[in-house]
Amino acid sequence: MLLLLLNSVTSFSQFPRFKVLAFYSDKVERDHRAFASDAIKFFKDLTVGNGFVFDTTSNMSDLDEEKLKPYTLIMWLNDFPHTSAQRDAFTKYMESGGGWLGFHVAGYNDKDTNWPWFVQFLGGAIFYNNNWPPMPAKMVIEDNNHPITKGLPQNYISPSNEWYQWKPSPRENKNVKVLASLSVDNYPLGLKDIIRNGDTPVMWSNTQYRMVYMNIGHGDKIFMDATQNKMIIAAMRYLVAADKKGNVFKD
């Protein structure tokens, strides 16, 4: 009885361990909305037992210094900031040790984006091309010693996704750790738009920040593969454990 009581007291003070805020838009293309809606369900299911708080917002103005303060980690599921105030708030959050997990279109940038800080944050990666239609692809896990990829097989077939290639590739940046990429066995990848060759990093971290970007995030099939789901959970866990704000996720 006493033990039970002690357990419940401990639980009360220990949980939830951290808070996540996920940004999404319901005004973007259908396949990106489908991913966001599946992702929200996926992460909310992981909060069972009140282990952590998973808040969501479709209002990009919540990218605000005060509003971000309680959150150990923010996610961009299918959108990115649209005003300089939102960009500035995000820059400040990340420069002061905030955590970010970005999926797919969240990392999109081209010559019209005009946000050099974000390009360096992403490791220098600029969108170059993509395959179409969305397709499954063979993934290479590049380093099984990293906490995110530990225990994963060297290869798996990812569910259908639209894959982006980058020029420059983030791999050229010495601060970037590439964790997963598309196998060259996939080429030519696509029917209408074809990725024919080259290096296609899919998941990486710019080690100057508490961040992970993963290119998966297009369509309603993303969460159909247990291996990939395990990787997504590990990425979230890694980012939270590495919290520089003192809210360390203790194992």
Query: If 0-12 CB within 10 Å is exposed, 13-18 middle and 19+ buried, where does residue 86 land?
Result: middle
Q: Which is nearer to Zn ion, 72 or 78 (CB)?
A: 78
Q: Which is nearer to Zn ion, 171 or 218 (CB)?
A: 218
**Interacting residues of 18 by C-beta distance below 8 A, sequence separation 6+:** 52, 53, 72, 73, 240, 243, 247, 249
Taking the complex as a whole, the smallest distance from the CB of residue 167 to Zn ion amounts, in Å, to 18
Taking the complex as a whole, the smallest distance from the CB of residue 194 to Zn ion amounts, in Å, to 16
Q: Which is nearer to Zn ion, 130 or 173 (CB)?
A: 130
Q: Which is nearer to Zn ion, 98 or 190 (CB)?
A: 190
Taking the complex as a whole, the smallest distance from the CB of residue 161 to Zn ion amounts, in Å, to 8
| Measured CA distances, 193 to 21, 107, 108 (Å) | 34, 20, 17
With CB under 5 A as the contact rule, the residue among 124, 162, 179, 186 that binds Zn ion is 162
Exposure b/e, 220-238, CB count within 10 A at least 16 = b: ebbbebeebeebbebbbbb
Site for Zn ion in 205-224 (CB under 5 A): 218
Interface stretch with Zn ion, choices 83-91, 120-128, 154-162, 200-208 (CB under 5 A): 154-162
Neighbours of 215 (CB within 10 A): 29
Q: Are 197 and 169 in contact (CB under 8 A)?
A: no
Taking the complex as a whole, the smallest distance from the CB of residue 121 to Zn ion amounts, in Å, to 20
Q: Which is nearer to Zn ion, 45 or 193 (CB)?
A: 193
Taking the complex as a whole, the smallest distance from the CB of residue 172 to Zn ion amounts, in Å, to 24
| Tokens 């917002």 -> residue | 57
Binding residues for Zn ion, rule: CB under 5 A, are: 162, 218
